[in-house]
């Protein structure tokens, strides 16, 4: 479990757009849940996909929770917190482009590219079919390419689940 810690932290930070405090909280929650559910881990299996699956489920649960009440800032303070404007609509860095991907696409992309997981491991981790992993990855790469080239500035739209 401890050997997976650096990868869990790296993935959590990428998933949460560099918010170190939130990423550390997610890793801590993941390890706590894993410790509680250690009996459900098959010792013959690699622990990494199991841990990433726990992290994924916790992250999805956190995204589904209603947002906390917020307090409006003074107009004089808001200009300090605004993101810098983009020149000519072109995204300046990859991190900004990743934020514009749908969460389902960025999760798959990060697991494959950043964590170097095989498609089968990603499918197990996210509890989705292998074909879904491949199509989300393909769409994520294409959209990322368009974003970096400045050809697409649409906000991310999460996938709609049909029941």
- Reported as a single tens digit per residue, the pLDDT across 66-90 is 665 666 666 555 444 444 454 434 4
Do 104 and 158 meet the contact criterion of CB atoms below 8 Å apart? yes
Q: What is the dihedral of CA 78, 84, 88, 89, to 10 degrees?
A: -80
> Which of 2-6, 37-41, 74-78, 93-97 is predicted with the least confidence, judged by mean pLDDT?
74-78
- How far apart CA 11 and CA 53 sit, in angstroms, is 12
Tell me, yes or no, if the pTM score tops 0.85. no
154, two tokens:
């649409």
């Amino acid at each position: 479990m401890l050997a997976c810690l650096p990868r869990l932290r790296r993935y959590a930070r990428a998933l949460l757009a560099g918010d170190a405090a939130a990423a550390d909280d997610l890793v801590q929650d993941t390890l706590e849940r894993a410790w509680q559910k250690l009996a459900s881990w098959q010792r013959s299996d690699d622990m990494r996909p199991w841990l990433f699956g726990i992290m994924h489920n916790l992250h999805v649960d956190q995204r589904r929770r209603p947002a906390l009440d917020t307090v409006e800032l003074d107009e004089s303070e808001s200009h300090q917190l605004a993101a810098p404007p983009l020149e000519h609509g072109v995204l300046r860095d990859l991190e900004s482009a990743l934020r514009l991907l749908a969460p389902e696409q960025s999760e798959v992309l990060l697991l494959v590219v950043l964590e170097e997981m095989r498609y089968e491991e990603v499918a197990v981790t996210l509890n989705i079919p292998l074909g879904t992993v491949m199509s989300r990855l393909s769409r994520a790469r294409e959209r990322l390419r368009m974003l970096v080239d400045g050809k697409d500035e649409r906000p991310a739209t999460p996938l709609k689940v049909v029941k």
